[in-house]
Amino acid sequence: MKYFSVRKSWILVFAIMTIFTLAACSSDETGGGSGEEPDEITAWAWDPNFNIAALELAKESYEKDIKLKIIENAQDDIVQKLNTGLSSGTMKGMPNIVLIEDQRAQSFLKAYPDAFYPLDEYINPDDFAAYKLAPTSLDGKQYGLPFDTGVTGLFFRTDYLKEAGYTMEDLSNITWEKYIEIGKDVKAKTGKDMISLDPNDLGLIRVMIQSAGSWYVKEDGTTVHLKDNEALKKAFQNYKAMMEADFVKANSDWSQFIAAFNSGDVATVPSGNWIGPSIEAEASQKGKWAVAQIPRLDMEGAVNASNQGGSSFYVLNIPGKEKAAEFLAETFGSSKQFYQDLVLDVGALGTYKPASEGEAYQAENEYFGGQKLISDFSKWMEEIPSVNYGMHTYAIEDILAAEMQNYLNGKSLEDALADAQAQAEAQLK
């Protein structure tokens, strides 16, 4: 009995597995997105008040007849869906247009070589802010249509700073060392913290090093550059100085970060321009905010302009790509008028340079005490040093975050960065 059923059961299992494997293998070839031109184009993006709204606006302003289906997904969800679809080779269900964060773009372009459709024939890359081009192109081909800027500014509470004796002048064109000095003074005179930071998030480090034209990798996008990276050293030192200065309100997630300034607990928010709407959400603080240039690192070549976040549109290499590319080119790619509407209706700031001459860019922002915010940001945007983010930003950052903890706990800076370098090189073969 025993002998019999063991044998039989194994045969059955094998038989079933064989059948399924065969079925699955034979179906592999029939999968994929080959087919004729679809009459509907789909686009994936993630923020209903921002990039989704921008796509809606583009759809409205597009003169040709197009059926565009705009689908909202969280950014992390898009990354997962796209990776799953592209790596399985199953293009069914993939969108024609997708928004990808600039710091991730090189990963996608290199990991899926034939999945994206070059846009060189449709747009002129030189029309866009220079710093957007390195992350959105590969091997001399322009794949991304540069969209929003993450140009940074130092958002600050004019009332608190005034109480401590500082004006816009005093915050303009400063270094991070000066910023820390002011921070201590503000804390002493007003009792308010200078900044809210999440100790697990090194976003500010990235802002600092890009202002000096540096990154975690060298210009080739792959050589790890942590050890002997002057900018990174300075950024780490500044970060530690801040943590030790007793003016940091720690947060552990996004909502606490927003709460820190909405509640009036912190005096400044150095951030990408997209934080504006979150600040404006607290109506009672109207007129109490202004934006200065971001501080710079104290070193040769560093400027008071940097970037945090920002994303671009990509066209997938599947049927409908020409339609999709044409649509993008005629709206985001070349229409000055479209960008005026974008600023007025959506409040989104693109990276298309010719648009900054338009009237809408001169508008005064009431919430920020009448400051010409859009105009200032677009001016700073053109100064952002161009760096190649390469493919490993997030992988390296996780390694750096661990070493940052060690550094804050007393490890020497040289050792911390050398260890991070060694670990990154081992991991990113």
| Neighbour-count burial of 108, counting CB atoms closer than 10 A to its CB (0-12 exposed, 13-18 middle, 19+ buried) | buried
**Which residue in the set 405, 412, 414, 415 belongs to the binding site for another protein (CB under 8 A)?**
405
To another protein, the closest distance from the beta carbon of 310 in angstroms equals: 12
Q: What are the structure tokens assigned to 401, written together?
A: 């975050």
The mark string for 18-47 relative to another protein (x by CB under 8 A, - otherwise) is --xx-xx-xxx-xxx-------------xx
**Phi and psi (nearest 5°) for 395?**
-65, -45
Q: What is the DSSP string of 40-62?
A: EEEEEE--TTTHHHHHHHHHHH-
By C-beta, is 92 or 336 nearer to another protein? Answer: 92
By C-beta, is 177 or 280 nearer to another protein? Answer: 280
The one-letter code for the residue type at 31 is G
395 binds another protein (CB under 8 A): yes
Size of the site for another protein (CB under 8 A): 92
426 binds another protein (CB under 8 A): yes
The answer to whether 106 touches 390, Cβ cutoff 8 Å, is yes
By C-beta, is 321 or 392 nearer to another protein? Answer: 392
To another protein, the closest distance from the beta carbon of 238 in angstroms equals: 19
401 binds another protein (CB under 8 A): yes
The answer to whether 129 touches 351, Cβ cutoff 8 Å, is yes
To another protein, the closest distance from the beta carbon of 104 in angstroms equals: 9
391 binds another protein (CB under 8 A): yes
DSSP code for 294: P
Of 320, 378, 391, residue with least CA distance to 351: 378
SS3 411: coil
**Phi and psi (nearest 5°) for 282?**
-95, 95
To another protein, the closest distance from the beta carbon of 80 in angstroms equals: 5
Q: What are the structure tokens assigned to 322, written together?
A: 């020409």
The answer to whether 215 touches 388, Cβ cutoff 8 Å, is yes
Q: Kindly provide the residue ranges of all beta strands, DSSP E only, lying in 253-412, ordered along the sequence.
A: 268-272, 289-292, 311-315
To another protein, the closest distance from the beta carbon of 293 in angstroms equals: 22
Kindly report the length of the chain: 429
Give residues 283-342 in contact with another protein (rule: CB under 8 A): none
Report the sign of the C-alpha dihedral through residues 249, 251, 254, 260, in that order: negative
**Phi and psi (nearest 5°) for 390?**
65, -160
406 binds another protein (CB under 8 A): yes
- Segment near another protein (CB under 8 A); pick from 109-117, 167-175, 224-232, 364-372: 109-117
The mark string for 244-283 relative to another protein (x by CB under 8 A, - otherwise) is ------x-xxxxx-xx--xx----------xx-xx--xx-
The mark string for 142-181 relative to another protein (x by CB under 8 A, - otherwise) is ----------------------------------------
The mark string for 68-107 relative to another protein (x by CB under 8 A, - otherwise) is ---xxxxxxx-xxx-xxxxxxxx-xx------------xx
418 binds another protein (CB under 8 A): no
